[in-house]
Structures are given as structure tokens and as C-alpha cells.
Structure 1
Amino acid sequence: MKIGIPREIKNPEYRVATTPARAPELISPGHEVSVESGTCRGSSCDDADYLRSGATIMDSADNVWGTAELLFEVKEPIAEDGRADFCPVPKEARA
């Protein structure tokens, strides 16, 4: 399975859906993990940490969303990322 981890854009959100330390747990059973560059901005890790863990770094959220079969996010998609309509959370429940 191709797992995508886009950078969180909801302000102020500095958490990451999967840390570099946890990525090998997803990769070891044969999954592919792709992370948007800069995902850890504001956190205590960086792109190099993800690369060392075996993940692939992608240059944009569009590439992550376009290749992933499963997305990991901390917060729900919002209008600014252009994908809020794909969110399973009802529109009236989104803040």
C-alpha cells in the first residue's frame, strides 16, 4: 500500500501524522511511505530523518495526494489545500 503524509497546513499545527521513528513500522510489512517535504517544519525532525527511515520525500502535497492510496493526517483537509471535498468529516462539523 502507498501511504502518503502531507504537511499539515491548518494554523497553528506542528504535529506530524507519522514520525520518522514510526515510518519503519509502516515500511517493514512492504508499504511505501511518501512524505511531503517540510512536513516536520516546526517539529523536532526534518526530511533527512524521514529519508534515513526509508520514506520517500515528495516536493508537493499534490504529489503526495496523487500517489497515495491511504493518507495520514493530524487534522482534516481544509479548503486551502483544495481537497476538503474528499474529507469524510461532514462539512458542518469542520472548523
Structure 2
Amino acid sequence: MFDIRIFFESTLSECRMKRYRRHSRISDKVSDEQIRVPNKFQQWFDHLVWNEYLKRRNLQISRAEKIFQFDDYKNRQYMQIDDYIDKRLQELTD
């Protein structure tokens, strides 16, 4: 159903922080260093969410045509991703 399938590799701590930010509606203006993730949330994420992700990770990767490592998009540097998507869209529309 998708014309472009990409996978974003990340770390446990990065995924946990992003999930906590969404859950707590913390502004992007607040740096990660200023945020303390409560132990209860951390345990829930690490033992439930992350474990479920790990169960399906290899399948998701096997279906992706391109895998982006965390360094490819950290600090909102999306040029590599944008370039790849632009290239694939061009291929699909030619």
C-alpha cells in the first residue's frame, strides 16, 4: 500500500524521551537535558513498549527499502531523508 517504505533506527533512550514528550505535551523549546522522565513511566516504556517494538523490529526492517540511522536525523537534520524521498518520488513519477 506504500510506495516508499523507510525505517528510522533509534535508541531506547531517544524513543523513551520522544514518547514522554508527547505524553506530557512538553514543548520542543525545552531541551531533553531539562526533562526528568519519572521512574514509573520509564519502567512502563522499557518493559512494555520497547519490548514489543523489539519483537517486531526485524520484520519492520526487512520490509523497509531504506533504513535511516539516528545520526541521519538527530537534531532535526532531515536533509538525507528529504533527498532520499525526493529521489524515490522522482523515480515513481517518471
TM-score (normalizing by structure 1) = 0.26
Structure with a larger share of its residues in helix: 2
Structure with a larger share of its residues in strand: 1
Give the greater-gyration-radius structure (CA).
2
TM-score (normalizing by structure 2) = 0.26
Compare relative contact order (CA 8 Å, sep 6+) and give the higher one, 1 or 2.
2
